[in-house]
Amino acid sequence: MSKLSKYSPLLDGQSIESKRQEIQEYFHNTYELYERVFEVLKDDDVFYKKSEITRHPMIFYFGHTATFFINKLINMKIINERINPNFESIFAVGVDEMSWDDMDNARYNWPKVKDVREYRTKVKLLVDKLIMTLPLSLPINENSPMWIILMGIEHERIHIETSLVLHRQMPIELIKDSVHFNLCSKSSVAPKNEMLEINSAEIKLGVDKNHKLYGWDNEYGVYEERVSVFKASKYLVSNGEFMEFVTSDGYKNEEYWDEEGRNFLKISKAEYPTFWILKDGVYKYRSLSSEMDMPLDWPVDVNALEAEAFCRYKSLQDGVTYQLPSEAEYRAIYDEVKIEDIPSFHESSANLNFYHYGSSSPVNEFSFITQNGKAIYDVVGNVWQWSRTPIRAFEGFEVHEAYDDFSVPTFDEKHALILGSSWASSGNLITKYSRYAFRKHFYQNAGFRYVITEQKEENLSDIYESDELVSQYCEFQYGDTHFGVENFAVSTARVASSFVKNKDKALDLGCATGRATYELAREFEEVEGIDFSVRFVQVGAKLKDDGYVAFSVKEEGEISQNKKITIDELGYESLKSKVSFWQGDACNLKPNFKGYDLIMATNLIDRLYNPRLFLDTIDERLNEDGVLVITSPYTWQESSTNKEFWLGGYEDEKGESVKTIDSLIEVLADKFELIHTQDLDFVIQETARKFQHTISEVSVWKKR
Amino acid sequence: MSKLSKYSPLLDGQSIESKRQEIQEYFHNTYELYERVFEVLKDDDVFYKKSEITRHPMIFYFGHTATFFINKLINMKIINERINPNFESIFAVGVDEMSWDDMDNARYNWPKVKDVREYRTKVKLLVDKLIMTLPLSLPINENSPMWIILMGIEHERIHIETSLVLHRQMPIELIKDSVHFNLCSKSSVAPKNEMLEINSAEIKLGVDKNHKLYGWDNEYGVYEERVSVFKASKYLVSNGEFMEFVTSDGYKNEEYWDEEGRNFLKISKAEYPTFWILKDGVYKYRSLSSEMDMPLDWPVDVNALEAEAFCRYKSLQDGVTYQLPSEAEYRAIYDEVKIEDIPSFHESSANLNFYHYGSSSPVNEFSFITQNGKAIYDVVGNVWQWSRTPIRAFEGFEVHEAYDDFSVPTFDEKHALILGSSWASSGNLITKYSRYAFRKHFYQNAGFRYVITEQKEENLSDIYESDELVSQYCEFQYGDTHFGVENFAVSTARVASSFVKNKDKALDLGCATGRATYELAREFEEVEGIDFSVRFVQVGAKLKDDGYVAFSVKEEGEISQNKKITIDELGYESLKSKVSFWQGDACNLKPNFKGYDLIMATNLIDRLYNPRLFLDTIDERLNEDGVLVITSPYTWQESSTNKEFWLGGYEDEKGESVKTIDSLIEVLADKFELIHTQDLDFVIQETARKFQHTISEVSVWKKR
């Protein structure tokens, strides 16, 4: 076993106590490894530098993985108390450059590295305690509280890999050598690539819920595809092989690039791979912590757009069509060479899990043998391999409620799968069934191999929302009305606006798919829509970015009807510049969300894990004369809110019924005057014949 | 371990394979023991005799436990095919004398014993196969498919005990001796009873869901009670002790009996305990298979009414109030003598699990030692001990969906708990947390001990429905209307009736809480209401028997409002003689349900496990010119109906949408003419502010 990195624990076992031990050891190993990754930053000042202009500084990532544990544990109601609400808000979101993540760093006062280190220690102690005390039966499954611990650990494993990429993108003078990530010392000329035949196969992707390793939600389900005989390159494309493309002006010739690729070229001004350095007419190579002579036989690190451009170039050269492999073709190679999954796989047989190197290695070092007895290299490990397949949900996909924005936002046909893992991969990343996908312009420790195949990936046009709950909300907010009840987003926005004098800035809190955010923009100069779930937020953002929302409405059983609503039909084209959408937790909002004339909290309070946290400080975010509008049917349920945090719907010690509206008056009385209440109906369609008809109470509170 | 009877298996363990083995051995042991119980019947003819006029003949019980496995497995969609639909319908219900069980034996052609034996063998082979192949992880919990197997086994364990009671009630000449159930040979004069002090204690009843033994749904939950110091009789009341009461004309003096007791005396004409025989002025004793001299030191077998009468008699004699113990007081005795639960409890220390005897035994044979070092006898075993506590749900009670009428119908304040188990008890019956309750006039292998206590059991008046779903339906059928939508039971009954010429007899299939059954009785001479769930059927039956239904309507969170609707308010007093309520499975209705002019299937077809089974033969139950009315919103869901059995709401092989109404036309076309369709709305209230608003389609089909 690698000294640096342990394998993920199995979910089953015979002894509860030894399973707790094993999980604790894995947790400690992960936590320590993560800290080693940050030891390569030369000093604490570097934590405040960004490796890419569009990303947060490194201090964000350093804090992020620890706050993740706490945010998920709170969210799943496994713990009730935060360790540091400020950290757990500012370090919560902004990992990738999604439109709903707030990346404006000017808004933040980043904390001291020392304080974040102390925070990490507190989280470690808490997680340690939970590992030893949480209810546990074997096998662990996705409903076990321990699953959330494993999720936190595997999440940190991902950031071990991605932080190493960010560090590699840092100016070299900010990075120091680490004994833990030792560079491969072998390098030579690039071997000449050749094509190997891979047998046809019936491929089954997707894993069963009873699988014995932790998995992210996108791994589960069923997908079958017949892969015909195809050819795959023997080696990953090496720096040497890629050099031809660069020196043949590959980055300048637009015919090798598709629209997205040309766009990337325009913005990035790239002329060669990002980890190459051109010095005095010679290409050097940037590893994690050094600039070195070009290792021609190591794999080239590129993004998907560069890999695709290379394939187009090579196709024109050879008169044969080269492509990136599909997800199923990659599995066919994997199966062909009979790789065994973790834990049977021995880590010495590939460049992964930090066993051999803290860098890439020659593309002809780690071989795997095909059915015909031919050697193919780096089927797993060394660098990830871009595929031509956009990540999609398998049949039977279910969102894991603890992390509902892990996968769903990537099911947009714009995130391509990367396959096979890299030298910096460990944990879930090196397992057979894991599935990671990135936007095509993103850098990872990723390169590619090419294939000659007859199968083409179909291109989908409009993306219809596959998420049933989100679709239901799309129909609720953008679809038909029923039983003569007005569209609720429209009516609440109108009612709420009517009580506000100054109409500069409004907050639509619990904005769901965003309709009321747009409606408020009819009256307000600026409207921010916030929802806890990215699954919902991205609908409003898509309407703004792509000009439409598309969803399917359930009619009877599994029959549903696709619907598409455009921004023109809605009349929002002129409003879209006023609205923005953000992910956020109403019980722990980031400090920068403030200065509102209206805060509208729609059907939100009875879904919060601790509604008092929201009510206690919401006045601070309102301007003078600001108005808070709360609408709710007060449908308290333990699945959303532990009973101790309900604002109403229970009996007090004297046995008297406590109603929510009375608690609201009590809690808000000091800071607000209740100026209006009314009922407002809404109807949510479940099928063509089944509806929820709810009577929400609107209460309007004027700041004192 | 007893040669006859094994202990119930633990739900946890280390090895799946050995757990399967263990369950199989337990299953075989139970199955075999059950057959031994029927070997005491002299010959096959006796299977067609009844031991009590109100009960089915023994052939029913012989078939019942095997069909239970199949009916539950079908119901839970673990298997799809029946072994013998006729057996699985006629042996399905009628265990107790509930008003909704059809006990009219003239209606049945009971099958041959040989055929039932063969049927049992087929069931055994199937269950064996399932035990070895069902998905299994440890610990087994109530959601595991294996739970249903354990349920079937424990259900048969109950019938082992109750069938032995029935056999003991058979004429002696119909029963033969069995080597397996050997009579205790000890008997002497009755020991003089005395009172022992039991310490005060904080009693916690109710067991956790993680408990390591199979439990029935009524065992789970939380109930706490402080029990003050009290006194309990050292011995169970013996035949000798009870003799005083009998010879003092206890059965003739009405002041010892409450109203229910006097009623029992009137109907039964009892003058002494049922297992006593008066011959030539001398009381003899009936054991399972013999009539013997009165064993004065054995416990008397009585029902609860007789036990209570004895207490009143003795109170008047001694000037002290004697009562039956409460459930909590019994547990205080149990805890006081530190009994360990199965499997730690050694069966040799009490008369249970068939270890010592096939009969009762002297009340001074099996001692348990109190904290003060005093001996108290038969805390468990020998005979059950009647309590004064009506069985109630503990806080947190949840119906187990596979057997939703196991407990709920007994939560009527009329079923008293029996405690401690008997010589004929095994399996779940001898575990610490099990809870069995019977109507007070019922006989079991049950006697009693008395206590002197200051605690009195409160008497509840109206029983408000504690079952949330049933309450919701009560409000739906008997409560307020909303959004201007007419009461659905009233509107469907009116619409359905309007298409029928001859109005002799109607069937309300899926009658739920029975409102439409009464409404149809405005037009029809006779109306039968059938529902799959006794939880629902008993509401309509209660309205008929007790003149009211009482339920609670959820308002906000846990706050709800009690409502009571009387038969007078509804104007049904004059109709009630026309209606009757039955439990039944629409997919496998008993043959006697036929001869209808109208069959109304309300919101039923999309909740059946196999709706075609219903549709294929329903015409046979209609008279000429009869009308079938189907109403449904076609809300197909896999939790009710496996997808392969959906009538619509899916795409066929050609990728075309199949709508339910089209399938209905196709399936029914040969036998029915579709004469009318219309939409009919209904609204179900969930809370004061939340409603389901559904549009049902009514289709009217005239028999060709």
Dist. CA B429–CA B445, nearest whole Å: 12
Task: Count how many Cα atoms sit within 13 Å of the Cα of residue A539 in the half-sphere of its side chain.
Answer: 31
Torsion of CA B13, B16, B17, B21, to 10 degrees: 60
Tell me which chain A residue has its CA closest to the CA of residue B137: A139
- CA atoms of B134 and A114, how far apart (whole Å): 54
Chain A hits for B694, CB-CB cut-off 8 Å, are 689-691
Interface of B with A (CB under 8 A): 12, 14, 135, 137-139, 210, 483, 555-559, 633-636, 643, 646, 648-651, 657-660, 683, 686-687, 689-697
CA atoms within 13 A on the CB side of B128: 10
Distance from CA of A90 to the nearest CA of B (A): 33
**B137/A556 Cβ within 8 A:** no
| Residue from A576, A434, A443, A400 nearest A96 by CA | A443
Select, from the ranges A485-489, B208-212, B581-585, the one with the highest average predicted confidence (pLDDT).
A485-489
Nearest to B446 by CA among B299, B644, B269, B647: B299
Residue type, B17: E
Query: What is the spatial distance between Cα A493 and Cα A504, in angstroms, rounded to a whole number?
Result: 15
Q: Which residue of B has its CA nearest to A657?
A: B559
Q: What is the DSSP string of B268-314?
A: H--SS-TTEEEETTEEEEE-SS-EEE--TTSBPP--HHHHHHHHHHH
Q: Could you tell me what percentage of chain A is helix, strand and coil, using 3-state DSSP and rounding each to the nearest 5? A: 35, 20, 45
Inter-residue contact A437 to A391 (CB < 8 Å): yes
Contact (Cβ atoms closer than 8 angstroms) between residue B456 and residue B389: no
CB pairs under 8 A between A and B: 109
Ranges A394-408, A585-599, B488-502, B588-602: which has the least confidence? A394-408
Q: Note the pLDDT tens digit of each residue in B255-303.
A: 999 989 999 999 899 999 999 999 999 999 999 999 999 999 999 999 9
In this predicted model, what pLDDT tens digit does every residue of B57-85 receive, in sequence order? 999 999 999 999 999 999 999 999 999 99
B24: which residues sit within 8 A by CB, 6+ positions away? B128, B131, B132
Give Cα B409 to chain centroid, integer Å.
7
Single-letter code of the amino acid located at A218: N
Residue B322 and residue B221 in contact, taking contact as beta carbons nearer than 8 Å: no
How many percent of chain B have pLDDT more than 90? 82
More confident residue, B546 or A679: A679
Which of A138, A210, A694 faces B689 most closely, judged by CB atoms? Answer: A694
Rounded to a whole number of angstroms, the distance from the CA of A682 to the nearest CA of chain B is 10
For residue A599, the distance in angstroms to the closest alpha carbon of chain B comes to 23
Give the C-alpha separation, A294 to A292, whole Å: 6
Contact B635 A693 (CB under 8 A): no
Query: Residue B697 carries which side chain, given as an amino acid letter?
Result: E
Mean pLDDT of the B661-670 span: 95
Q: How far is A445 from chain B (nearest CA, A)?
A: 39
Given pLDDT bands bounded at 50, 70 and 90, which one contains residue B584?
A: confident
ipTM of this complex prediction, to 2 decimal places: 0.73
In angstroms, the Cα distances linking B682 to B486, B629, B698 are: 7, 16, 12
Give the pLDDT of residue A1. 46
Contact B426, B160 (CB under 8 A): yes
Interface touch A659/B693, C-beta < 8 Å: no
**One-letter identity of residue A389:** T
3-state secondary structure B147-188: HHHHHHHHHHHHHHHHHHHHHHHCCHHHECCCCCCCCCCCCC
Q: What is the mean pLDDT of each run of 10 residues along chain A (704 residues)?
A: 84 93 97 96 93 85 96 93 92 66 64 96 97 93 96 97 95 92 92 96 94 96 92 97 96 92 92 95 95 97 97 91 95 96 94 96 96 95 97 88 87 92 97 96 96 72 71 95 96 97 97 97 97 88 90 92 94 96 89 94 94 95 96 94 94 92 95 97 96 97 96
Quote the tokens at residue A68: 């993740």
Q: What is the pLDDT of residue B179?
A: 86
Position A109 scores a pLDDT of: 81
What's the confidence (pLDDT) of residue A100? 56
Distance from CA of B639 to the nearest CA of A (A): 12
Question: What pLDDT score was predicted for residue B162?
Answer: 95
A633 contacts in B (CB within 8 Å)? 687, 689-690
The structure's pTM equals 0.74
Token pair belonging to A470 = 């989100």
The pair of structure tokens assigned to B469 is 């779903």
- Closest Cβ opposite residue A483 in set B483, B648, B686: B483
In this predicted structure, what is the pLDDT of residue A98? 56
Looking up tokens 């405005």 gives B522
Query: Can you state the angle between helices B16-39 and B58-75, rounded to 10 degrees?
Result: 160
Collect all residues from A whose CB is shorter than 8 A from any CB in B: 14, 135, 137-139, 210, 483, 555-559, 633-636, 643, 646, 648-651, 657-660, 683, 686-687, 689-697
- 3-class secondary-structure state, position B14: coil
Q: Which residue, among B445, B441, B460, has the nearest Cα to B309 in the 3D structure?
A: B441
Locus of tokens 């947009």: A412
Do the beta carbons of residue A662 and residue A636 sit within 8 Å?
no
Chain A residues within 8 A of B484 when measuring between CB atoms = none
Question: What is the reported pLDDT for B1?
Answer: 47
Report the distance separating Cα B327 and Cα B416, nearest Å: 10
Here the tokens at position A198 are 């891979």
Closest residue in B to A693 (Cα–Cα): B691
A695 interaction partners in chain B (CB closer than 8 Å): 689-690
* Tokens coding A270: 């790239």
Q: How many whole angstroms separate alpha carbon A540 and alpha carbon A512?
A: 8
pLDDT on residue B103: 56
Please tell me the distance from the alpha carbon of residue B422 to that of residue A692, in angstroms, as a whole number. Answer: 52
Confidence at residue B56, expressed as pLDDT on a 0 to 100 scale? 86
Q: Do B689 and A635 touch (CB under 8 A)?
A: yes
Residue range B184-191: average pLDDT? 94
Of B14, B556, B643, the CB nearest to A659: B556
**For residue range B335-356, what is the model confidence (pLDDT) as tens digits?**
999 999 999 999 999 999 999 9
A650–B558 CB contact, under 8 Å: yes
Q: Check A634 against B139: CB less than 8 A apart.
A: no
pLDDT tens digits for range B370-397: 998 999 999 999 999 999 999 998 988 8
Contact B689 A646 (CB under 8 A): no
pLDDT at residue A106, as a whole number: 56
pLDDT of amino acid A54 = 76
The predicted-structure confidence for B165-182, as pLDDT tens digits, reads as follows 999 999 999 999 888 898
Asked if residue A216 lies in contact with residue A428, where contact means CB atoms within 8 angstroms, the answer is yes
Asked if residue B692 has pLDDT above 70, the reply is: yes
Residue in this structure with the two tokens 């043949």, named with its chain if needed: A248
Which residue shows structure tokens 């028997």?
Answer: B545
